[in-house]
A and B are shown apart, each in its own frame.
Chain A
Amino acid sequence: QPVLTQSSSASASLGSSVKLTCTLSSGHSSYIIAWHQQQPGKAPRYLMKLEGSGSYNKGSGVPDRFSGSSSGADRYLTISNLQSEDEADYYCETWDSNSRVFGGGTKLTVL
């Protein structure tokens, strides 16, 4: 079963860009992941599906400011032109045929 590792926190200034990382465990570097955003006090929201090739597909209504990329076992979520509403927890998710796992989440602070 894969394990997903995320930094616990990140911060960036309003209007700048930030790149969040989700790292797949050894032997699972080809896995597809998904990114989810959880604003304070709210349920998570699906952002995008991200493949090892770097190809990604966003959910409905996700702003163009959100993009994904990959390198080896690392999966990235880049948020450009940071807005105050982007301050949230971000979780990555992966799965296999009979199980599912989430990363520990990254708390993003917009300064």
Chain B
Amino acid sequence: QVTLRESGPALVKPTQTLTLTCTFSGFSLSTSGMCVSWIRQPPGKALEWLARIDWDDDKYYSTSLKTRLTISKDTSKNQVVLTMTNMDPVDTATYYCARIRSSGGHVDYWGQGTLVTVSS
């Protein structure tokens, strides 16, 4: 059974760096073809893709946010970490991690999401 769970601070101040952790089970990021993405959703708005990390440590970022994002993995802990620098109130959103298999290409499992509010 595949599960993903996001964790991190619920509140960050403007200009701070956000660090989110995705802890997953039911698959391994050392298995060929496995990938994990981060996706966010501002309140009442649509989903926005942020970043992806692959089993072979290839990394991909949203063009509009790539200067602020870093994605990494700890295969031994079944975790993927996303950092976003210079947080702003417009970054207030629910942040989801999700699994992707390269054979399918699409997200096939979602985490429950974690709401991050940016406010002083």
Contact, CB under 8 Å: A95 / B111:
no
B46 within 8 A of A: yes
B74 within 8 A of A: no
Interface size class of B (residues with CB under 8 A): 20 to 34
As a 0/1 sequence over residues 31 to 75 of chain A, the CB contacts with chain B under 8 angstroms (1 = contact) are: 011101000000111100100000000010000000000000000
Please judge, given known A-B contacts A32-B105, A43-B96, A49-B104, whether A100 and B110 are in contact too, CB under 8 Å.
Answer: no
Give Cα A103–Cα B39 distance, bound, in whole angstroms.
13
Contact, CB under 8 Å: A105 / B106:
no
As a 0/1 sequence over residues 82 to 120 of chain B, the CB contacts with chain A under 8 angstroms (1 = contact) are: 000000000000001000000011111111110000000
Interface size class of A (residues with CB under 8 A): 20 to 34
Q: State how many angstroms separate the Cβ of A61 from the closest Cβ of chain B.
A: 12
Cross-interface CB contact of A49 among B48, B49, B106, cutoff 8 Å:
B106
Give Cα A44–Cα B49 distance, bound, in whole angstroms.
13
- Contact partners of B62 in chain A: CB under 8 A: 99
Contact, CB under 8 Å: A43 / B112:
yes
A26 within 8 A of B: no
Give Cα A46–Cα B47 distance, bound, in whole angstroms.
13
Interface residues of B (CB under 8 A from A): 37, 39, 46-49, 52, 60, 62-63, 96, 104-113
Interface residues of A (CB under 8 A from B): 1, 32-34, 36, 43-46, 49, 59, 91, 93, 95, 98-105
